[in-house]
Amino acid sequence: QKEVEQDPGPLSVPEGAIVSLNCTYSNSAFQYFMWYRQYSRKGPELLMYTYSSGNKEDGRFTAQVDKSSKYISLFIRDSQPSDSATYLCAPLEGAQKLVFGQGTRLTINP
């Protein structure tokens, strides 16, 4: 079993839809949870991170962590074609080691 599981998709939704991206993880010691966005042929871009359980909102993006079920979510409201990218969840293990999920490829259709 991988430490972080993420549905690779692809996921295709119409513009304006609410997108839900999810990961599960197995290591209960994880405390920080990152979301990265990676456009084709580019490096990962840090979108946001949360600490422990709870929600964090940044514009159209909301990150949610439920440590009791080891479940991580990223919601995108009013999705735009420019949101089309691969989204990677990455809990932080110990001294700044990121453990990446496989990434979900998202396409927003105009």
Partner 1 sequence: SAVISQKPSRDICQRGTSLTIQCQVDSQVTMMFWYRQQPGQSLTLIATANQGSEATYESGFVIDKFPISRPNLTFSTLTVSNMSPEDSSIYLCSVAENGNTIYFGEGSWLTVV
Specify the residue, 17 or 49, whose C-beta has the smaller distance to partner 1. 49
Q: Is residue 46 at the binding interface for partner 1, with CB under 8 A as the rule?
A: yes
Six-digit token pair at 11?
Answer: 């996921």
The answer to whether the CB of 15 falls within 8 A of the CB of 70 is: no
From residue 81, give the alpha-carbon distance in Å to each of 22, 73, 106: 20, 20, 10
Binding of partner 1 at residue 29 (CB under 8 A)?
no
Backbone angles phi, psi at 34, to 5 degrees: -105, 150
**Does residue 28 belong to the site contacting partner 1 (CB under 8 A)?**
no
85 binds partner 1 (CB under 8 A): no
105 CB-near residues (< 8 Å, 6+ apart): 8, 9, 10, 11, 85, 86
List 34, 47, 76, 85, residue binding partner 1 (CB under 8 A): 34
- Binding to partner 1 (CB under 8 A): which residues in 48-77? 49, 51
Residues of the shown chain interacting with partner 1 in the complex, contacts defined by CB under 8 A: 32, 34, 36, 41-46, 49, 51, 88, 90, 92, 95-98, 100-103
